[in-house]
Amino acid sequence: MVSRLTGPFILILLLITMAGPAMAANDLTVEPDRTRLYEGEVLTLSVKGSTKIDINLGNLFDFDLSSLPKPDIEKVEDDFEILTRNQQYSIRTVNNEMVGEITWTYQLAPQKTGKLTIPPLSFRDSRSTPVTIEVISGTPPNQEGDAQRDSFIELAADKDEVYVQEQLVLSIKLFFTGNLIRGELSEPEHPNAIVESLGKQNEYTRYRDGVRYRVVERRYALFPQKEGQLSLQPIRFEGQARNEQGQLKFLRDSANLFDITVKGVPAGFSGDTWLPARKLELDQSGLPRNQNLTAGQNLTRSLTMRAEGLPAESLPPFPGQTPDSIRAYPEKPERTTTPGTEGLTSTLTQTTALVPVQPGQLTLPEIRIPWWDTESDSEKVAVIPAHTMVVEGIPGQIDSGPNNPEGASEAVTETNNDPASGEPDGESGAVFWPLATLAVLVGWLLTLTAWWYSRRRTNAGKVVASQGDNREKVLFRDLCEAAQAGSPKTTDLLVRWMSQRHPERTFQSLTDVNRFLGDTELAAEIEQLQQRLFGTPGESATSEPWQGERLVAALIRVRGAASESAPGDQLPPLYPQGLSTSR
């Protein structure tokens, strides 16, 4: 028994005492896997050191892995980014002395091109010699015998110049080989541009130069807010993949989009609101086909504006002019934005209740919305023609005049109380009240059952610890900071936070969030922020300081209300094998 334990015990002593106070360094060497590489490639640097070992039982039980010696590799961070760190230990006997050999392996990514120097590194009492690394700009040439690229990024835009606030569609394609273990692909961002995701990413397979690649494609709609040159930050990717031989490779790439020229609003544009779009149409419904109606008759008129290449928040409200002989009761406008592969499609719907109060002829005025056709590069006007109707008085009623809408109400009341329209009041009431009482009782029982079931789900959900709590808190903090500052990222952060807060739902746009929450106060504050961001350049309202306290307060209130709901099942991941999004 003792003889079996002697060998392993001595080996453990040898490993542990490497960190003892009696270590004496003998050597330190620095070996890069190459001294010439292209930008975007990763350098593997091996640092080897050795030290004599003094076996001392006094430090046997004080050993801590964190106390093991390391070279001062941080010196390279001026020119290189340290991606990964690894270390290995071994023991050998030299002239009857125990010597510990340590190898540190680092993955370094150059941060600039040119000749870079790895300075002398220190380890105990020894120093390494400096090493020069040449970093070449561009990508490696595709020559026979060259190693295939493990990953690369392709960027493409649908236009090389746009008007201010015109949609620019950006495509980002990530090509990679092997089984992706983890990955992080950045998103486009610019302080003077609104960025909207165009739905879920696409995943497919493509061959390049005979090599099979997995491809992740994401599409975005960008809306520049200032004229001039639009230069986006590089799109970056970092990840790890395992190849067919089971080897783990570090992937790191970046790509730049060419500069986009942003033109100002044409001087000849006649509209009050600048609307650059591929297509813009107006439509209406709800008016009588025969052009005849009766005084006091209720109409529901719906006006719809549809635009391709614009978010709904940028669409102007419909004019509200109506004749004096008609009363108008508009509802809150409904705005929807739908992402697609070719960009955003938005809709503005205005529903208004119309009640004519005076007999005679009335005309709803023409509606004209000037907009800029980006396909033909010319101004166009969307039109709803004027609509004329004849209002007939109710037989037996005295004309109450245009300033007496109560007369119209009396006409409606008399018409609805016509004895020929139904049964006598007493008989109708005898049937109605027992049925109403039964309906209330059934509704109360259903409500009680739903409440009991909800309590069960809530209590059960509290037992499960959510790993996304910290992520949700970080997202909400970023959301509140963006809302307070009036940042263009606010709506995107709101969608991402709602997706984290309610994983059982799918949120792709602000419309999905508003539809789910039904919070008019929050929707109004977000709409005010969007109007500020998408307002016509030069408006005085956009120059006033943004006050985000009300929006932040609404977000905090919504979060507090949402915390009472039980989380649903997690959605499946959108990204392949751990591919995530970074900002």
| Cα separation, 111 vs 506, whole angstroms | 38
pLDDT in tens, the chain (583 residues): 444 444 444 444 444 444 443 344 457 889 998 899 887 778 889 998 877 666 555 554 554 444 567 888 898 988 998 888 888 877 677 676 767 778 888 888 888 889 999 999 888 788 888 999 999 887 666 544 345 678 899 999 999 999 999 999 999 999 999 888 888 999 999 999 999 999 999 999 998 888 889 999 999 999 999 999 999 999 999 888 887 777 778 888 888 888 999 999 999 999 999 999 999 999 999 988 888 888 877 888 999 999 999 999 999 999 888 888 888 888 899 999 999 989 999 999 999 988 888 888 889 999 999 999 999 999 999 999 999 988 887 655 544 444 444 433 333 333 344 434 433 444 444 444 455 445 545 555 565 565 555 555 544 444 444 456 788 888 898 999 888 888 888 888 998 899 888 888 888 778 888 889 988 889 888 888 877 776 655 544 445 688 888 898 889 888 887 665 544 443 334 345 445 555 5
Q: Which residues pair with 163 in a beta bridge?
A: 263
Collect all residues with Cβ–Cβ distance below 8 Å to 107 and sequence separation of at least 6. 42, 43, 44, 45, 82, 83, 84, 250
pLDDT for the residue numbered 6? 44
pTM of the model: 0.54
Residues in the chain: 583
Nearest Cα neighbor of 486 from 521, 534, 537 is: 534
| Cα separation, 104 vs 117, whole angstroms | 19
2-136: in CATH 3.90.550: no
pLDDT for the residue numbered 246? 76
| Cα separation, 163 vs 269, whole angstroms | 12
DSSP state of 524: H
E-only strand ranges, 209-291: 211-224, 228-230, 235-242, 248-255, 260-263, 276-277, 279-285
Amino acid letter at 408? A
**What DSSP line would sit under 6-74, residue for residue?**
HHHHHHHHHHHGGGSTT--EEEEEEEES-SEEETT--EEEEEEEEEE----GGGSTT--GGGS----GG
Q: What is the 3-state secondary structure (H, E, C) of 395-458?
A: CCCCCCCCCCHHHHHHHHHHHHCCHHHCCCHHHHHHHHHHHHHHHHHHHHHHHHHHHHHHHHHH
- State in words which class domain 151-263 has: mainly beta
User: If you search the block for the tokens 């790890």, which residue do you land on?
Assistant: 240
pLDDT for the residue numbered 570? 39
Given this chain, do its domains 2-136 and 151-263 carry the same CATH topology? yes
Quote the tokens at residue 225: 């807010």
Quote the tokens at residue 46: 């091996």
pLDDT for the residue numbered 460? 43
| Cα separation, 106 vs 104, whole angstroms | 7
Domain assignments of the chain as residue spans, ordered by start: 2-136, 151-263, 276-399, 469-537+545-582
CATH topology of domain 276-399: Immunoglobulin-like (2.60.40)
pLDDT for the residue numbered 413? 33
Exposure letters 6-42 (e unless 16+ CB within 10 A, then b)? eeeeeeebbebbbbbeebebeebebebeeeebebbbb
Q: How many helices (H) and strands (E) does the chain have?
A: 8, 32
